[in-house]
A and B are shown apart, each in its own frame.
Chain A
Amino acid sequence: MKKINLAIALGATCAGCDVAILDLNEKILEVFDLVEFKFWPTAMDFKLDDLEKLKDKEVDVGIYHGAIRTTEDVKIAKILRQKSKVVVAFGACANFGGIPSLANMPYEQNMFDLVYKDVPSMDNPENTVPLTSVKIDDVELTLPGILENADALEEIIDVDYFVPGCPPMVPLIEQVIEVLKVFAKKGELPPKGAVIAGTKTLCDECGRTKPEKISFKEFISPQEVEEMDPDLCLLPQGIICLGPATRAGCDGLCTKMNVGCRGCLGPTDKVKDHGLKMISAITSLLEVDEEEEMTEEQLDKIVEKIPDPLGTFYRFTYGKSLIYKLHSEEKVI
């Protein structure tokens, strides 16, 4: 069996995706049997040069994790595309922009100033900020430039497969290994555009029981719950869970720990805007019977209890959302 040439490249990432791969434990040995690493700077001694030196399409499978945040990320993504037969967007950031894309929310203030000058935890009396180029003793040092927004990989290059998750969970990575095995043996690949995760939403596999009709009167955070019912769906207990809107595949990692799903696997194939869909579901479930009699203020009071709505509903998918695209004046539909 011919080994598969594999490259793992990264952009704006926390490198949790790399750790997730290493989390395969002894299964990682199977990976080593299956693949020949052509590039994986986080785990081995590779430089970008090593990737650039390869022939076009020499890499069979190129995996990319992290968002596109800097000019360097764009460059790496494009090289990866050039050198790889197929490219896999790996993890929530590469799939949807992820947490870095929350910074795309238009603030009154420049994001750069906010981070380097005005953030309360920042003590920077000299206003030192990173520059793309600086000369020290006639030597020019450069840094990549920052882009206006953080984007999903698909916005920059053509992507063949998608593995969502923050980071992708071991069962999903195992599925990827199965795909690689078939590829190595028979040269067969799934249809282009396939998402390697479930097709349904998390509720299907979460295991908590749902009452025939779900509704709730108020939002509460898990630490406020006096006695959490470990078997009952979290929503009727008032805890926001993005499970109903989020693609299955994690086996309910969070909900098993009494924590609402945060949505890292993104929406199903049918949905364009993950957060919007969850918002419309949540608002539909909010005590509809009495809603007509409630005042605007009373309703506001309930909704105010949702901490950081943007971060709650778009924690991982703002970069792919319609509202972001509307702001960035991109073509929405």
Chain B
Amino acid sequence: MSKVGVFVCHCGRNIAHTVDIKKVLETIKDYEDVVHVEDNMYMCSEPGQAVIKEAIKKHDLDRVVVAACSKDMHEDTFRIVTKEAGLNQYLTEMANIREQCSWVHEDKKESTEKAIKIIGSTIERVKRNQALEPYHIPVTRKALVIGGGIAGIQAALDIADAGYQVTLVEKDSTIGGKMAQLAETFPTLDCSQCILTPKMVAVGRHPNIRLLTNSEVENVDGYVGSFKVKIKKKPRYVIEEKCTICDDCVHVCPVIVHDEYNAGLSPRKAIYIAFPQAVPATYIIDPNTCLGIDPLICAKCKEVCDPKAIDFDMHPEILDEEFGAIVVATGFSAYPYEEIGEYGYGNIHNVISGLEFERLLSANGPTQGVIRRPSDGSIPKTVVFIHCAGSRDPAKHLPYCSKICCMYATKHALQYKHLVHDGVALNFYIDVRTAGKDYEEFYKRATEEESVIYVRGKVSEVIQDGEKLLIRGVNTLTSESIELHADMVVLATGLLPSKGTQEISSILKLSCDSKGFVKEAHPKLKPVETAISGVFVAGTASGPKDIPETVAQASGAAAKAQIILSSDFLERDPVIAEIDDLTCGICHTCIHVCPYGAISYDEGQNKVLVNEALCEGCGSCAAACPSGSIELRNSTYESISASIKALLKA
């Protein structure tokens, strides 16, 4: 015999408008095992909560049904209320008579009947509930940040400043990411390096940050609180502590390759430093282009290196570490313009990408900040900037808007005009999207003060025409077709998830959207959480973003990670799956089905086990288990069929 209390909420008029609360109370009070019924205008309000607490004590209730809104809204609220009244919080269930009843019906009589059924069914369910205790799982109070762009840098600094140990893993030779390649940043035009490098230096110096560059995460096991991570630290072949950045080795190295930092617009050697302010400040040998490390073929650099910093005997190191939380900040890559046929598939020299233009604009770039054409080094007098290059084109390219391209194309045009006063800057756009603080003003400045010309239209074709480029398109405002000659074309291409983002998603089993960006746990309310508890995402790894938004997200993700790191134990909901070994035939169906990787086969015990730290209680396995061996706690076959029976009862 249970003693059930039923509390019915009006939700102002939200429920009471279509459900006859009085009738509900009158009917429910006579149900078997119901010892108390009561209503309240707002059950979730302080007075409403007090009503429940008092009734639990006064009537010695051992089960509670709150007939109100959805579990998503207020299950936690009412569980806490129950707990505070001294009753186990899992002996409370919510009956949803708002979203599933009053909101979707108009007829008062019918919705009242339905509300009664929903409550009756919930009573049958709650009667079968067991008191449960939350799990406590230990926390390794260290964070792993993957990716050392501005997002990863910011997240690592925030967590480290809060007093926790952070390991920052970056696959390139230096941290900085794309921001280190930018010249100046919209909308303020401050120099990207100037605002970024102090943060890079801070990372390098921070006592709580362990920086692993030229390293990659190979494997992640475990779960929130204790992720077991395998990190591969690739050899640099240069001893960081000894290298004095004297540049002697670079002069003797016979290998010349494209410099990635300068977007391929200048050469570098096989032994190099990405840029002078790189962190860590040390050279690296690129083993793929060096004439030969094993067997040693050239070794010219080693001969000239005075401090004896070069060590060809370095080997990859595998580090096994444990972390309580992970921040994924693996960033983006620009849409490859080699894919855009109408703009020459990357074969026309003077059609370049936005990132290449950033390098031309940079004082430390291949042209020392003078805008020169890649083909002949001349200064272009007419430059066409094409917005949405490969974006918003579901048929052929990216279907979405990358949010930042209008802004950086505007920035490029404006900077070009600063540098080449008599030049013509012409921007082709679909529509100019300037949603951001001071962004519209920035765009106005480009058009009004710097007389950048904006043409609403789509460039249909760019072809080489002698020394010049012939651009064909349509002005979509006047419907006139356009044909003009320019010296250079800059494509504002959209953003894709970086290859590293895709790799890390598959290692961490993160769900991704159709383009491969990491999916947030909730697009609005959980923008930095992922489907995997304890793994957070920041910056462009989850979608196109500008720097301010990236930094804000990084701080958000860092704060979320700190919540986990802030105590030695984590509480986990005990409403999880349980396997009955008596009937389980070890068919492995559930292992495949579990979206959280919570089920595994243990060969030693010859059993299929649910990991309580990973199980989110989604119930997929219980539905799929062909032997009926899995039940969710407090959603057993018995309790589900009792509540269905109650629903079907006339």
Binding site for B on A (CB under 8 A): 199-204, 210-215, 243-245, 248, 267-271, 277-278, 280-281, 284-285, 288, 293, 333
Contact = CB atoms under 8 A, between A and B. Distances in A.
B626 A288 contact: no
Contacts of B205: none
Contacts of B620: 284
A210 B600 CA distance: 13
B592 A244 contact: no
Contact of B592 (A243, A269, A277, A288): A288
B627 A210 contact: no
A94 to B, nearest CB: 22
Contact of B589 (A204, A214, A267): A214
Contacts of B593: 284-285, 288
Given A243-B587, A284-B592, A278 B628 contact: no
Given A199-B583, A204-B586, A268-B583, A281 B626 contact: yes
Nearest to A279: B626
Given A213-B592, A215-B592, A268-B629, A203 B624 contact: no
Interface stretch (B224-232, B345-353, B478-486, B637-645): B637-645
B585 interface: yes
Given A244-B626, A268-B627, A278-B626, A212 B580 contact: no
Contact of B628 (A202, A211, A268, A284): A268
B585 A203 contact: yes
B591 interface: yes
B300 interface: no
Contacts of A293: 514
B584 A211 contact: no
Contacts of A281: 587, 589, 624-626
Nearest to B592: A213
B624 A280 contact: yes
B623 interface: yes
B322 to A, nearest CB: 23
B588 A201 contact: no
Contact of B627 (A213, A214, A244, A285): A244
Nearest to B631: A270
Nearest to A202: B585
Contacts, number: 96
B582 interface: yes
A248 B583 CA distance: 9
A243 B585 contact: yes
A200 B582 contact: yes
B601 interface: yes
A280 B645 contact: no
Contacts of A248: 585
Given A284-B593, A333-B641, A204 B629 contact: no
A285 B637 contact: no
Looking at B600, B626, B648, the one whose CB has the most chain A CB atoms below 10 A away is: B626
A200 B580 CA distance: 10
Contact of A270 (B587, B601, B628): B628
B591 A212 contact: yes
Contacts of B600: 212
Nearest to B514: A293
A245 B627 contact: yes
Contacts of B585: 200-204, 243-244, 248
Given A270-B580, A281-B587, A333-B641, 5 more contacts: A201-B585, A244-B587, A277-B627, A284-B592, A284-B623
B591 A271 contact: no
Nearest to B600: A212
Interface in B606-650: 620, 623-629, 637, 641, 644-645, 648
Contacts of B587: 201, 203, 210, 214, 243-244, 281
A288 B584 CA distance: 22
A270 B586 contact: no
A200 B624 contact: no
Which one of A214, A277, A281, A333 has the highest number of Cβ atoms from chain B below 10 Å of its Cβ?
Answer: A281
Contacts of A285: 589, 592-593, 624
A200 B588 CA distance: 13
A126 B628 CA distance: 51
Contacts of B601: 212
A278 B589 CA distance: 11
Contacts of B626: 201, 244-245, 271, 277-278, 280-281
A269 B589 CA distance: 19
Contacts of A203: 585-588
B249 to A, nearest CB: 47
